[in-house]
Structure 1
């Protein structure tokens, strides 16, 4: 039911409209009346009715002032005004304010009922138009989603149809980036620099960003912050200038997401940051790749899980003994090679004359091959841990020193990782292990605390934004509000009030 209120300073008018009009027959609930403008405004703000019947002349605040406030706060509200004889100037002002109808006093039941029917017809037409717009919008969105999926799976052949559905604005696009996750919790706000097309494909949740400007550091920083706050993993493909290459970005996004799972990383993992972490030795299957990637990243729990999957696959497929031996030994030697790359001459716990192929057949004959295979990989990953711990502490200490010197500019994860000679994604994992929070949260916290100190010293918000490394005031303000719960300007005002300035 629609909600309605009646405002008039004449008791007889209020009483008559309450008792003589069958409001429910029109699908309306009369929720209240008021005899002065101030009470009327309070009643409106509490109940937010869709229909208002009001006299023009009232004490406290007249009907025109009241309508002006209401139309400013809720422009969709429909107002019907009562006017006396010779009040044409007031009526003209009311019409200019956007009232739906006006009635001359004295008010009668037939005139009120006629006005109600007229306004209900107007509401009905508005709803029909809105429903039509919604249907058209939903239909267009569904067409765009299907065309975008075709773009990801077919590529160039689907581009022309996609552009037709997207519209003339497609001519202004300069790039496309695909993000992949497994959760609906990631929400990217719309922006003038890009449009986000959300898609579902099986268990995959995809966000296809089409850009009118190349992605900025603020774009990646905001995306990283939001994905970490949502506590989810997100894989990002590279940004391609040609729409037909969206399919490449999609494949990269999926691979980056898989890598994020292997790394145990929450937040966004960019394909271009993975580097050698995803360099697949020739002939390596995805199962084997998962084990090697977990070893490279030091994710022991992830590696053991991948080993169990690998063993389950061998058992399920009932592989020939020689084939199983070949697969297991290949993986052991690859793992040993990766351990030596990671730890150099610091590899411990592994005998210099380690020859797993000699032990393999002995274990197989005793029926202990599964336990032995798991223990060998566990030994190999364990041998790299000490070297990894040392490397982590030294590298993160160097990184933090570098960051301390560069907070006043936009120093990225990629730049810091390059400074300490590490792959960005691998460095991100090590940093979180050592510091206890992610790189972006650490940097944001340091910058926001510095910003609060500078604001307390009386610096202007724009100056503070630059001094803590943000390119735009808007981005700084958004991050500051998420961190403190208020905008930089509000924070300054609170400080002034506290200090009595």
Structure 2
């Protein structure tokens, strides 16, 4: 049986948890309770038989978050698998709970059996995995604490740069034994590439901790190395797995969990490249290169994709030289087409570019980004001859040259270029500058809201981001957009809510999806804007 402790400061909640589901059917028995984190911690220090902890986040004396932190202290003999009980307003705390090792969470306002059972099943599996895999998960880790973290990081970087054909010294086996990579069988490298829109300075710790937590949950022996381009190399070994399909299944499960959690809590889309299986410590450098090349293919495939070796593409038909000659010819045609009053000219040339680009997929994304940079330079030259700055034609937080080199995918870059060319052509042949509808600060703020309206955003944050005062942005936003900041944000959210409700989504899920973590507040706002409650609107659109 799995022993469980319930921790909540409300007696009625603790009582309800006893009767919520048939715990016996999951092999779980409730052996003790606590009214707050302090009481729970005192009990956990005295006993080592608690396998599963169900704890509220908000409690007096010692909160659920503080309890999670304390579970790692030396005087706690055993760290139980932890599920948090959360209110909708606790969303930021749930994010921190995941960072601290919580397995999952249950929303108090939605404690239906259909939503709770999958979480409990997941916890039961995790307890079983920990019981079976503790010994293997600890192999090779005992001596790691003997060195400073930077020494281990330096050694791992050396391992990734090792060239078995070169004159580098042999790998230090003693230091290798201090890592999880002591096993030299069934090695896999996963390269994680966060989307360029992610603020790594603010989220780096969360991203790395999320990867670490997931790999620990699945008992995957690993080391994590930060790469120069901002990505991460996950060096994994599967010494006890006998088939490639079993290893592939574990890798897919881990990446799916990572993507879900990162997207949910920091709105971070990540792509991943997965190497072949290898054996021998000298193989790590090759496996990292392969995984990095596959991860880079997300530029063509789209963010959030998992790229396995079989998805690697063959060289372009007709040869590499012919591809770049044709792209160059198209690039040189664009400036001449822009000078023609008929917009059909530049659209025709742009269509040729769209048709030829799929053939560039085997090429490194860096090469295509450089090509797009040349296209922007050529467009800028046309404008410069007329005394116009390209930055004035395409108002944005980034210059056009920066944008085409930083956009995450080829499709995003093409869409950006199409918009840029349209505005350039209009500006060249209209003469009135109608393309310049928004000033750069308002354009950047509007674009940010259009992309991030589901998140917790406010005018102070955005004014800092675009580099103007809050009062200036407020006045200009109303003047240029025609509505104030709050109304614009609310309308974006309500329009998305309408779409989700029309597809039959649950009201609580819609509320959370669009950035309202209190469903009652969402319902009031929705009715105020539309004149209908979310339920009535959903029923009418689906009838």
- The alignment's TM-score, normalised by the length of structure 2, stands at 0.30
